């Protein structure tokens, strides 16, 4: 497979594993890169020295390109950027913030920069900031998400028409069929998160991986829209949030309920009642924990089969 994205990143398949807090460390990132996709270390949950360790272990485990995801609202972002430059990370995916601040500095260091957006306004802004590509993430996605609730099916064609740079589709993708669908809509590649949470190499707690496998359709919801919108698996903590919202809780009251380190508690420490469990709608389709290489192979095989049968759809 060859296109603008495989050439930009020097990878074999246009399949990118999303940077996910507490779930995507060096082990998952290097496993995905070794199969010919692009693995991403999720730095939002890592203290600066932890990120350096993950980058070094990733470099020791793969000779292939990999990336680091930097949520731009990370508190010690200057240190993360410095580590990324010092360790010569080839690609950065930035998200949740303004790409005007760091893009040029990273590009001056020869680093390729991709920014995650959830609407056309931010896509155009990211393009104007000089990023090499964008991830356009629809409503179905897990974790942080746009407020507008635009689905991937609606978002991708509009974004592809609006920008000239390559577009990586995200949100609701975890199979070869969904990959073929978004590429038919104009995307150059896919970014996949939830499917890789339930991988052997993911750093998520086994309780969370098992909860993802057991999740059925309808068991996630875009929540906490008054704070930072985030798609969560419905659990005891989620119920507390919803009942507070229905009772007219203020932003401050919601922030108090959320408290600190809820995501770590749920996804990393495996507290399925009190923790925050960030996952996408596609979790309803995931039924087994597998090695990352097997996941990539299945997606590629199903993509090829789907594309091969597409001429027959030309009624």
**Minimum Å distance from CB 309 to ligand NDP?**
33
Crossing angle of helices 152-162/120-128, nearest 10°?
40
Closer of 14 and 71 to ligand NDP (Cβ): 71
**Minimum Å distance from CB 137 to ligand NDP?**
5
214-236 core/surface letters (b: 16 or more CB in 10 A; e: else): ebeeebbebbbeeeebbbbbebe
**Minimum Å distance from CB 108 to ligand NDP?**
20
Q: Closest residue (Cβ) to ligand NDP?
A: 44
Closest CA to 10 of 39, 46, 38, 43: 38
**Minimum Å distance from CB 286 to ligand NDP?**
17
**Minimum Å distance from CB 51 to ligand NDP?**
8
Closer of 21 and 180 to ligand NDP (Cβ): 21
Closest CA to 33 of 4, 55, 48, 52: 55
What phi and psi, each to the nearest 5 degrees, are found at residue 133?
Answer: -165, 165
What is the spatial distance between Cα 307 and Cα 176, in angstroms, rounded to a whole number?
Answer: 9
- Residue 164 and residue 188 in contact, taking contact as beta carbons nearer than 8 Å: no
Closer of 177 and 264 to ligand NDP (Cβ): 264
What is the spatial distance between Cα 99 and Cα 85, in angstroms, rounded to a whole number?
Answer: 17
Closer of 256 and 287 to ligand NDP (Cβ): 256
Which helix (DSSP H) or strand (DSSP E) does residue 221 occupy? strand 220-223
Which residues form the interface with ligand NDP (CB under 6 A)?
19-21, 42, 44-47, 69, 71, 73-76, 95-99, 116-118, 122, 125-126, 137, 143-147, 228-229, 260-264, 278
**Minimum Å distance from CB 141 to ligand NDP?**
8
What is the spatial distance between Cα 243 and Cα 259, in angstroms, rounded to a whole number?
Answer: 16
């Amino acid at each position: 497979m060859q296109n603008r994205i495989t050439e930009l990143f020097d990878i074999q398949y246009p399949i990118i594993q999303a940077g996910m807090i507490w779930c995507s460390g060096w082990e998952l990132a290097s496993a995905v890169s070794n199969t010919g996709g692009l693995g991403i270390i999720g730095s939002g949950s890592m203290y600066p020295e932890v990120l350096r360790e993950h980058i070094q272990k990733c470099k020791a485990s793969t000779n292939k390109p990999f990336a680091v995801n930097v949520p731009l609202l990370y508190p010690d972002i200057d240190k993360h950027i410095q580590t990324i430059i010092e360790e010569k990370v080839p690609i950065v995916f930035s998200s949740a913030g303004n790409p005007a601040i760091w893009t040029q500095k990273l590009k001056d260091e020869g680093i390729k920069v991709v920014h995650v957006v959830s609407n056309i306004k931010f896509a155009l802004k990211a393009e104007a900031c000089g990023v090499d590509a964008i991830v356009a993430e629809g409503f179905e996605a897990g974790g942080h998400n746009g407020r507008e609730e635009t689905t991937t099916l609606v978002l991708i064609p509009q974004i592809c028409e609006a920008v000239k740079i390559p577009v990586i589709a995200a949100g609701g993708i975890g199979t070869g069929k969904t990959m073929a669908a978004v590429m038919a809509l104009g995307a150059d590649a896919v970014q996949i998160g939830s499917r890789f949470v339930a991988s052997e190499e993911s750093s998520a707690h086994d309780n969370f991986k098992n909860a993802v496998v057991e999740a059925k359709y309808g068991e996630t919801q875009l929540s906490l829209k008054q704070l930072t919108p985030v798609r969560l698996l419905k659990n005891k903590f989620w119920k507390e949030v919803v009942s507070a919202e229905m009772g007219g809780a203020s932003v401050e009251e919601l922030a108090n309920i959320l408290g600190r380190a809820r995501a770590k508690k749920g996804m990393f420490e495996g507290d399925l009642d009190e923790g925050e469990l960030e996952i996408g709608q596609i979790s309803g389709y995931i039924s087994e924990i597998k090695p990352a290489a097997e996941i990539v192979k299945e997606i590629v095989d199903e993509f090829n089969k789907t594309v091969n049968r597409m001429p027959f759809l030309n009624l």
